[in-house]
Chains A and B, each alone.
Chain A
């Protein structure tokens, strides 16, 4: 904590030698940490060196800084310049250090007074004409700076909206080096950028998707409602054109609204992943990520030399939708097992191991056979071997992490034309939100939030059954051929259905409905 607060910028004059210290920041995982940019100018042969494990983009900043200072109307010192990025033991990447290095040099040559940059965070990439360009990961960097006592920051104008969400920090957008100098020297009043997270939330409009658009498929819609209410993972099996993708896209519209904290957490991830360009400020909608089935393992769970979050983390607090599940590479699907289990993903690389949050609702869709029509139409000519092979591409352990299995039927013309009122997302959301708050209340003293996270022992405690209920489950196992692994899932689902019903005891009706949500588990007649 204290590290940030103790930051001060000073110039020591010893003869011709000068030293300046400017605060900047870098990213580790999805959190920022302080980087001190120390600039020393001394006499000697003209040179410009950057030390402190800079990567290529940082090393190249020499040229940008030199040219930007020159083109902003200042003399670049023909002296020996040494820049140190402390702490020296972590690798620094990206162009965000251009601005603090330039400011450090300007402090050293006396253009800016050391006091003017004291306790101030600088981030930004320079272009050759001195303009300041947007960088990635601004929100987590500013947030951790704020937590550690920094009260003012100079940022690229394009990142101002994102950074301004952090309350307690004066965000001063800098569009060019020249104007930044004017502000620092007091020739120009700083324009402080304000944004209010609460206001942003209220201003956020709907995105136009609604469950009312989905005709028919009542059973699947109900399954999705139950899945959303307990944050259960769900797989939909059905022929092409049954509306699996259409319904999946609408899941975020029935999940409760994001809280400000959740939203900031998501925005941090997006910021680090470089998805906050173009002046986006705050992610106010639950993410819906639908990666293509050619995705690599690294893109799915995160990775890279310096690990960046993958799709599972970009779906944090939202929905990860994998369409055509068996088409994904086996390895990629297996990598999903840890995040689905733990709600986070740890990526280990040579530069360290990082943990990204990945608490998400996993939604998968697949056809019943390679051609898609098995069991729905005479059209299907797939052999049993082909069908078994297709279904076998999804491994047992992955299916084990999916609580709800529902089959979607083909939609016919009658359904499409039906004028029957379909429930809107808002109506469903109300019930889901109520179920969420019942769970939050029940699990206040536990380390979980939703029924889907119940461990085996917690299931025993929170899903108590009466005699009639036990009897029903037993006969379901005998008669319908459920596998043993379905037992706890049935209980958890029954708990969620009961929560949608007001949170009382689990009754026979709840269990009976849960049984219909495990269709892949069963030994079917054919």
Chain B
């Protein structure tokens, strides 16, 4: 007979059954442990399909649970069952909450903190990336937990922003937490494991598939108070998360973008349909119910850094839309070497950032 914890671990780890069905099974038999000892035939008799019964009892529950525990030990992964008091309370409100969360790192205590999930396309513009990074950094610095999916693009930028502010961040994966997907985010994943937490409802060594991501998205929205969509095309997978958030009764906010940009078509439409509009971190604060903090307010007009005259000239040419160094050279009629020098100094002072294509955007 399996203990309650181990039975939950077993049921949560069984593949090819939807979370919703797992809840139904556990409910029907009273508990996961009772389900495990009931056996295949009783499951079929209780009105579930043969496929489900086969998936459940493909291998013996005790053996399977032991196997999973072995895998957890080998990959140094922890798990929290839904009976554990550490289990995020917001997530438990959704109807198909994961029975067990596998995790690497320390899950921040989210009960008395505000949680913001930030999502968006993997392919993003420098505008989307910088606003995401800045917003995540600002809010994480004010105690908000930033949740995202560790994908390329917007997801990565939101984690990076939170990490750079020394704030709390949680990454929800669409694969086992011992797998880094996308593999290029290895360094980011290590940072998150160290300072925050990587979680997944899938047991270790399960690889991502096209079905695991939509399921993962419901956890991202389920964990949060507010879902912020930073950049999305009309057919972006991000919009699945929005649907989940609406089902789960979470507030949805979107970052407006250029109407001509295909990368903002989805977010602009969300705003048209009634999503909250993000014009600054303050808008999100208001929605989260955090007091405004005027001291930290980012001021785009006034800069506090001291710039040399030639740096000031170059700085004035750079705005939020990327410009190339050649364009600056042409406008200012300065020599390339002077412009390059000024750009490096501005970058080091944090006033501008280089983006791909030898182009620069304003950061302060």
Question: Do A516 and B357 contact each other (CB < 8 Å), given the known contacts A384-B153, A479-B350, A526-B125?
Answer: no
Question: Do A525 and B340 contact each other (CB < 8 Å), given the known contacts A378-B262, A409-B358?
Answer: no
Instruction: Report the bound CA distance from A18 to B294 in whole Å.
Output: 110
* Beta-carbon contacts under 8 Å, B223-252 to A: none
Which B residues are in CB contact (< 8 Å) with A222? 336-337, 340
**Residue A524 at the chain B interface, CB threshold 8 Å:** yes
**Residue B40 at the chain A interface, CB threshold 8 Å:** no
Residue of B124, B261, B358, B361 near A408 (CB, 8 A) is B358
Which B residues are in CB contact (< 8 Å) with A475? 348
Residue of A219, A368, A480, A509 near B326 (CB, 8 A) is A219
**Residue B313 at the chain A interface, CB threshold 8 Å:** no
**Residue B95 at the chain A interface, CB threshold 8 Å:** no
Which B residues are in CB contact (< 8 Å) with A221? 336
Q: How far is the CB of B14 from chain A (nearest CB, A)?
A: 30
The residue of chain B having its C-beta at the shortest distance from the C-beta of A374 within the complex is: B356
* Beta-carbon contacts under 8 Å, B309-364 to A: 324-326, 329-330, 336-337, 340-341, 343-345, 347-348, 350, 353-359, 361
Q: How far is the CB of A515 from chain B (nearest CB, A)?
A: 5
**Residue A376 at the chain B interface, CB threshold 8 Å:** yes
Residue of B129, B340, B358 near A513 (CB, 8 A) is B340
The residue of chain A having its C-beta at the shortest distance from the C-beta of B359 within the complex is: A409
User: Using an 8 Å CB-CB cutoff, how does the interface string of A361-403 with B read, 1 for contact, 0 for none?
Assistant: 0000000100000111010000111001000000000000000
Q: Are A526 and B124 in contact (CB under 8 A)?
A: yes
Instruction: Report the bound CA distance from A475 to B345 in whole Å.
Output: 10
The residue of chain B having its C-beta at the shortest distance from the C-beta of A385 within the complex is: B182
Q: Are A480 and B347 in contact (CB under 8 A)?
A: yes
User: Using an 8 Å CB-CB cutoff, how does the interface string of B255-270 with A read, 1 for contact, 0 for none?
Assistant: 0000001110000000
**Residue B152 at the chain A interface, CB threshold 8 Å:** yes
Q: Are A219 and B325 in contact (CB under 8 A)?
A: yes
Q: Are B182 and A407 in contact (CB under 8 A)?
A: no
Instruction: Report the bound CA distance from A216 to B326 in whole Å.
Output: 7
**Residue A148 at the chain B interface, CB threshold 8 Å:** no
* Beta-carbon contacts under 8 Å, A491-517 to B: 497, 509, 512-513, 515-516
Q: Are B356 and A409 in contact (CB under 8 A)?
A: no
The residue of chain B having its C-beta at the shortest distance from the C-beta of A500 within the complex is: B337
Instruction: Report the bound CA distance from A378 to B123 in whole Å.
Output: 11
**Residue A522 at the chain B interface, CB threshold 8 Å:** yes
Instruction: Report the bound CA distance from A378 to B265 in whole Å.
Output: 13
Q: Are A217 and B184 in contact (CB under 8 A)?
A: no
User: Using an 8 Å CB-CB cutoff, how does the interface string of B108-121 with A read, 1 for contact, 0 for none?
Assistant: 00000000000000
**Residue B191 at the chain A interface, CB threshold 8 Å:** no
Instruction: Report the bound CA distance from A115 to B129 in whole Å.
Output: 86
**Residue B37 at the chain A interface, CB threshold 8 Å:** no
Which A residues are in CB contact (< 8 Å) with B345? 512
Q: Are A384 and B340 in contact (CB under 8 A)?
A: no
Q: Are B357 and A522 in contact (CB under 8 A)?
A: no
Instruction: Report the bound CA distance from A525 to B130 in whole Å.
Output: 7
* Beta-carbon contacts under 8 Å, B172-191 to A: 182, 184
User: Using an 8 Å CB-CB cutoff, how does the interface string of A215-226 with B read, 1 for contact, 0 for none?
Assistant: 011110110000
Which A residues are in CB contact (< 8 Å) with B152? 384
**Residue B126 at the chain A interface, CB threshold 8 Å:** yes
Q: Are A516 and B340 in contact (CB under 8 A)?
A: yes
Q: How far is the CB of A452 from chain B (nearest CB, A)?
A: 19
Which A residues are in CB contact (< 8 Å) with B100? none
Q: How far is the CB of B132 from chain A (nearest CB, A)?
A: 10
Instruction: Report the bound CA distance from A406 to B340 in whole Å.
Output: 12
The residue of chain B having its C-beta at the shortest distance from the C-beta of A406 within the complex is: B358
Q: Are A375 and B355 in contact (CB under 8 A)?
A: yes
Q: Are A376 and B358 in contact (CB under 8 A)?
A: no
User: Using an 8 Å CB-CB cutoff, how does the interface string of A24-65 with B read, 1 for contact, 0 for none?
Assistant: 000000000000000000000000000000000000000000
How many residues in B have their beta carbons less than 8 Å from beta carbons of A? 39
* Beta-carbon contacts under 8 Å, B126-156 to A: 126, 129-130, 133, 152-153
Instruction: Report the bound CA distance from A475 to B358 in whole Å.
Output: 20
Q: Are A524 and B354 in contact (CB under 8 A)?
A: yes
The residue of chain B having its C-beta at the shortest distance from the C-beta of A511 within the complex is: B344
Q: How far is the CB of B196 from chain A (nearest CB, A)?
A: 19
Question: Do A515 and B344 contact each other (CB < 8 Å), given the known contacts A218-B336, A219-B329, A378-B262?
Answer: yes
Instruction: Report the bound CA distance from A217 to B350 in whole Å.
Output: 26
**Residue B122 at the chain A interface, CB threshold 8 Å:** yes
**Residue A455 at the chain B interface, CB threshold 8 Å:** no
Which A residues are in CB contact (< 8 Å) with B354? 480, 519, 522, 524-525
**Residue A88 at the chain B interface, CB threshold 8 Å:** no
Instruction: Report the bound CA distance from A326 to B346 in whole Å.
Output: 33
Question: Do A384 and B326 contact each other (CB < 8 Å), given the known contacts A480-B348, A525-B133?
Answer: no
Question: Do A368 and B344 contact each other (CB < 8 Å), given the known contacts A219-B329, A385-B182, A516-B325?
Answer: no
Instruction: Report the bound CA distance from A374 to B355 in whole Å.
Output: 12
The residue of chain B having its C-beta at the shortest distance from the C-beta of A409 within the complex is: B324
Question: Do A479 and B348 contact each other (CB < 8 Å), given the known contacts A375-B357, A409-B326, A516-B325?
Answer: yes
Which B residues are in CB contact (< 8 Å) with A479? 347-348, 350
Which B residues are in CB contact (< 8 Å) with A219? 324-326, 329, 336, 340, 358
Question: Do A525 and B353 contact each other (CB < 8 Å), given the known contacts A219-B358, A407-B358?
Answer: yes
**Residue B157 at the chain A interface, CB threshold 8 Å:** yes
The residue of chain B having its C-beta at the shortest distance from the C-beta of A226 within the complex is: B337
Which B residues are in CB contact (< 8 Å) with A519? 354, 358
Q: Are A376 and B357 in contact (CB under 8 A)?
A: yes
The residue of chain B having its C-beta at the shortest distance from the C-beta of A381 within the complex is: B123
Which A residues are in CB contact (< 8 Å) with B336? 218-219, 221-222
Which A residues are in CB contact (< 8 Å) with B182? 384-385
**Residue A476 at the chain B interface, CB threshold 8 Å:** yes
Q: Are A524 and B356 in contact (CB under 8 A)?
A: yes
Which A residues are in CB contact (< 8 Å) with B357? 238, 368, 375-376, 407, 409
The residue of chain A having its C-beta at the shortest distance from the C-beta of B342 within the complex is: A512
Which B residues are in CB contact (< 8 Å) with A407? 356-358
The residue of chain B having its C-beta at the shortest distance from the C-beta of A239 within the complex is: B357
**Residue A472 at the chain B interface, CB threshold 8 Å:** yes
| Selected A-B contacts with CB under 8 Å, 13 pairs | A218-B329, A219-B326, A238-B357, A375-B355, A378-B261, A384-B184, A407-B358, A472-B348, A512-B340, A515-B347, A525-B353, A525-B355, A526-B129
Apart from A368-B356, A409-B358, A513-B337, list 6 A-B contacts with CB within 8 A. A216-B326, A368-B357, A375-B357, A406-B358, A409-B357, A515-B347
- Point out residues on A near B: beta carbons under 8 Å: 216-219, 221-222, 238, 368, 374-376, 378, 383-385, 388, 406-409, 415, 418, 420, 472, 475-476, 479-480, 497, 509, 512-513, 515-516, 519, 522, 524-526
Listed from nearest, the 10 A-B pairs whose CB atoms lie closest are A375-B356, A512-B344, A407-B358, A526-B129, A409-B324, A222-B336, A375-B357, A516-B340, A512-B341, A384-B152
- Point out residues on B near A: beta carbons under 8 Å: 122-126, 129-130, 133, 152-153, 157, 182, 184, 261-263, 324-326, 329-330, 336-337, 340-341, 343-345, 347-348, 350, 353-359, 361
